[in-house]
Chain A
Amino acid sequence: MEKIEIQDILYKVEKPARYLGNELNSIHKTINESTIRYAFCFPDIYEVGMSHLGMQILYHLINNEENVFCERVFAPAIDMEEEMRKHNIPLFGLESRQPIKHFDFVGFTLQYELSYTNILNMLDLAEIPIYSKERAEDHPLVILGGPCAYNPEPIADFADIIVLGEAEEVQIELLELYKDFKKQGYKKDKFLQEAAKIQGIYIPALYEVTYKEDGIIEDFKPRVEGIPSKITKRIIKDLDKAFYPESIIVPYLNVVHDRVALEIFRGCTRGCRFCQAGMIYRPVREKSVERLSNLAENLLASTGYEEISLASLSTSDYSGLQDFVRGLIDKYSNDKVGISLPSLRLDNFSLELIKEIQKVRKTGLTFAPEAGSQRLRDVVNKGLTEEDLMNATEKAFESGWSSVKLYFMIGLPTETEEDLVGIKDLAFKVVDIYHSIPKEQRGKGLNVTVSTSTFIPKPFTPFQWEPQIKLEETSAKQSMLKDKLRRKNITYNYHDAKTSLLEAVFARGDRKLSKVLAIALEEGCKFDGWAEHFDFDKWMGVFEKAGIDPAFYASRKREYDELLPWDHIDAGVTKDFLIRENEKAQKGELTQDCRTNCSGCGINQGFIGGIC
């Protein structure tokens, strides 16, 4: 295969370092006839994709395999895409600069719904037919995975293979199967049918969906014998034994997360009812402090990074946090290595810890009460009280912080005006607390930032049946808050409701939406997650052209007995549990943290056997 010449283009485009492909710790292999070629694609620009931990893990995991060469591909920025199209350059792997249309596998990670058009655009730029049924024997196999794959139906028609759940093991099993087939004579349909028998592998073309007249799904069943009618997600049992890279690629450019990211555990025990991650990554599994210390040492040495960040859904819940962080501080503070603890719940203990970390490097202070009133916080099972918040901010101000961010959602089930007023009250109380602290003690320049986003009901959460509020309602709520939050030292930010609507449609959509995405590609929709590229009116035109009403997916209340587009997927939590949780939510009843009391979500049956 020829290497594509891009030197001249690099002089013309912005940030050419995005396309070099030779960053520290990137992998370059000698390619021969039998090399299995894998393109790992991230459907956003380089700086976003390179900040993603999952990509770094899988890149190094796949490249650990003998005879398999995995390369990175990102969505080229608009200027680069223009140059590529002008010069007929197909999308290529960054490392080899060879067209990915000749690769064996082209995998995309689905991190957010608004990147779906980028996936299609990248396939188009790669000169690969977008529909799986249009791809021939010698086209690459298109694999999709990642959190959005828990409801892959809107993009199912474009995928050959969908990976459900944690990919570390199943990815390798799939490659092994492929190697066997290559040895014995590969036939695509035979291979896919075999692959469908692996737990965690979903081959959409092997299943058939029928709809009722009202558009609701009537039936979903396998077209062939011998494959499961319900596809079960994969989880890694022992994270200490799971693959984790000892070196990660260090970009030249300043990417969003430019540091060593160390995953300390998976899952979350809190059970917030709006949170998809909290449901699909169950159960909680921790890495040992010993394994983490080892990884930290190797990763810092191989990258030269000056900062290490602990990744998880809820950092404070890691049982060895104190030990581990103290250890890091002792070992690395002389080397000026900063430690950042995102997703930290702020309480006395964590504030002490942060204060110590601050000696080395400063981090921001954020709280996510999610809802303004205690009632609504109970509805969503966010076990944070006003007292907790006030205590924590008071301590923080006393220790010299003066800048606080508060995150809320609007449009949560059962929300009333009172709950919104509660947002204002909380923000005002935080300001008052600041002023109650003597001048000498508190930091200067108070800044309280209130951010709201529109609630998006997600599959596999207790709110998966709930409607999203309409655009007009969101705007009304936003202007009300804008009005109420007018006060010195308070800044109010809100997330664009129009993108949240689109997200809601695709989050809970079915296969009928593939038509919408195909039209959106023709109309030139891409980078929809970027405010400067997102064109809502264009999108509404696309829905109209496709004859599809977005409200059917976003703002319709669904019944418990409705067959949901993702019902053929087993994510571990049972439907019974989700219904129970939704019922409790409506009554404002709390569910305990898994560490205090198991509420029988179902993940302990079949996935981990017995206790959680």
Chain B
Amino acid sequence: MYKIRSRFYKKGDMVFISHLDLVRVLERAFRRANIPMAYTQGYNPHPIMAFATALGVGISSEGEYIDIEVEKEIPLEDFMGRLNQALPEGLKIITSKYISKKAESLMSVINYSIYLVKLPFTEEVGVEELKNRLEEFTKLEEIIQVKEQKKKHRFKQPKTKEVNIRNSIVDIEIVQVEEKEAILKMTLAAGSNGNLKPEIVVEKFKEINGMPIELQEVRVQRLELLTDLNPQHLTPLDIDV
């Protein structure tokens, strides 16, 4: 058994398929590409694959990761070439490498995610103003997200839980501001430290600082999934496994 770790992108029309759809698209692409996948045991065998995180519908990504297991060693160029031929436009393997069978799972090595977030405003917002508001926002010690917990009983009101998401916001940077639109770069906690969605941050920013954001039209792109930020950015393909 051999393990291959790959980085891929998901963009264009493919942002509209869900994580489960993606799993199926990949399973079928593996078959059409004749990749000698290893399968799970049992009555309902599935090709063995694991992801770093599940990407929400509507979010594009330049840096997704997947680990798969193959039964025979095949040259990586073959693997990538054949698979990319079988994948739809909008999904593409960018790099692959063999990793140790004992390598820690993607899920557990990921700590951060970097996003570009496009904020459409209902009225003009100047650079200075946005800067000040962001500063106010990031200076807060507590930013409370109210989470609904899963219902235990269908007749009871769902319980809610309050979570302070401030510590999951590592950094927010302004990339660009145009009349009624701004682009922010956010570095947020991801993976085993809890996943903070950029949409939540935007919602809170609107709610707390009264920003005129058109929530429905916010667009999010993931740039990177990282294991480490300091002293340098490391991806799951950079670490020794």
Contacts and interface: CB of A to CB of B under 8 A. Distances in A.
B44 A10 contact: no
A604 B18 CA distance: 51
A305 interface: yes
Interface residues of B, number: 26
A253 B21 CA distance: 6
Interface string A40-65: 00000000000000000000000000
Nearest to A363: B43
Given A8-B217, A24-B88, A358-B43, A335 B24 contact: no
Interface stretch (B28-36, B138-146, B169-177, B200-208): B28-36
Interface stretch (A15-23, A321-329, A420-428, A523-531): A15-23
A187 interface: no
A16 B16 contact: yes
Contacts of B88: 22, 24
Contacts, number: 59
B183 interface: no
B43 A305 contact: no
A336 to B, nearest CB: 5
A303 B28 contact: yes
Contacts of B212: none
A252 B24 contact: yes
Nearest to B37: A336
Interface string A329-364: 000000110000000000000000000001001100
Interface string B69-111: 0000000000000000010110000000000000000000000
B27 interface: yes
Given A8-B217, A358-B43, A20 B20 contact: no
A53 to B, nearest CB: 19
A193 to B, nearest CB: 44
B28 A336 contact: no
B57 interface: yes
A308 to B, nearest CB: 12
B44 A16 contact: no
Interface in A510-545: none
A320 interface: no
Contacts of A304: 27-32, 86
A250 interface: yes
Contacts of B18: 15, 17
Given A12-B216, A253-B21, A304-B86, A20 B16 contact: yes
Contact of A252 (B17, B39, B219): B17
Contacts of A16: 16, 57-58
B21 A252 contact: yes
A17 B17 contact: yes
B216 A11 contact: yes
12 contacts: A11-B58, A11-B219, A15-B18, A17-B21, A20-B13, A20-B16, A24-B88, A254-B21, A258-B24, A305-B28, A335-B31, A361-B43
A362 B217 contact: no
Contacts of A24: 28, 88
B117 to A, nearest CB: 14
B16 A10 contact: yes
B25 interface: yes
A15 B18 CA distance: 8
A306 B43 contact: no
A24 B29 CA distance: 10
Contacts of A31: none
A22 B30 CA distance: 19
A252 B57 contact: no
B45 interface: yes
A335 B45 CA distance: 10
A172 interface: no
A306 B13 contact: no
A334 to B, nearest CB: 10
- Dominant SS at the A interface? loop
- Dominant SS at the B interface? helix
Contact of A17 (B16, B39, B43, B44): B16
Nearest to A20: B13
Nearest 7 Cβ contacts at the A-B interface: A304-B28, A304-B31, A16-B16, A304-B32, A362-B43, A252-B21, A252-B17
B29 to A, nearest CB: 6
A362 B44 contact: yes
- Give the most central of B24, B86, B217: most A CB within 10 Å: B24
Contacts of B20: 254
A304 B31 CA distance: 5
Given A8-B217, A11-B216, A304-B32, A336 B39 contact: yes
Interface of A: 8, 10-12, 15-17, 20, 22, 24, 250, 252-254, 258, 300-306, 335-336, 358, 361-362
A387 to B, nearest CB: 30
Contacts of B39: 336
A3 to B, nearest CB: 14
Nearest to B40: A336
A304 B82 CA distance: 13
B49 to A, nearest CB: 14
A11 B89 CA distance: 19
Contacts of A253: 17, 21
Given A15-B18, A252-B17, 15 more contacts: A11-B216, A11-B219, A12-B216, A16-B16, A17-B17, A20-B16, A253-B21, A254-B20, A304-B27, A304-B29, A304-B30, A304-B31, A304-B86, A335-B31, A336-B39
A251 to B, nearest CB: 9
A304 B25 CA distance: 9
A225 to B, nearest CB: 54
Nearest to B20: A254
A302 B33 CA distance: 10
Given A16-B57, A336-B39, A361-B43, A22 B216 contact: no
A301 B57 contact: no
Interface string B211-241: 0000011010000000000000000000000
Contacts of A302: 32
Contacts of A306: 27-28, 31
A442 to B, nearest CB: 17
Interface string B44-64: 110000000000011000000
A10 B60 CA distance: 14
A375 to B, nearest CB: 40
Contacts of B219: 11
- Give the most central of B16, B28, B44: most A CB within 10 Å: B16
A15 B24 CA distance: 15
B118 to A, nearest CB: 12
A20 B13 CA distance: 7
Contacts of A15: 18
A302 B20 CA distance: 21
A254 B24 contact: yes
B13 A250 contact: no
A102 B7 CA distance: 44
A358 B44 CA distance: 10
A303 B21 CA distance: 15
Contacts of A254: 20-21, 24
Contacts of A20: 13, 16
A527 B57 CA distance: 26
A302 B29 CA distance: 10
A301 B34 CA distance: 9
- Give the most central of A258, A300, A305, A336: most B CB within 10 Å: A336
B188 to A, nearest CB: 21
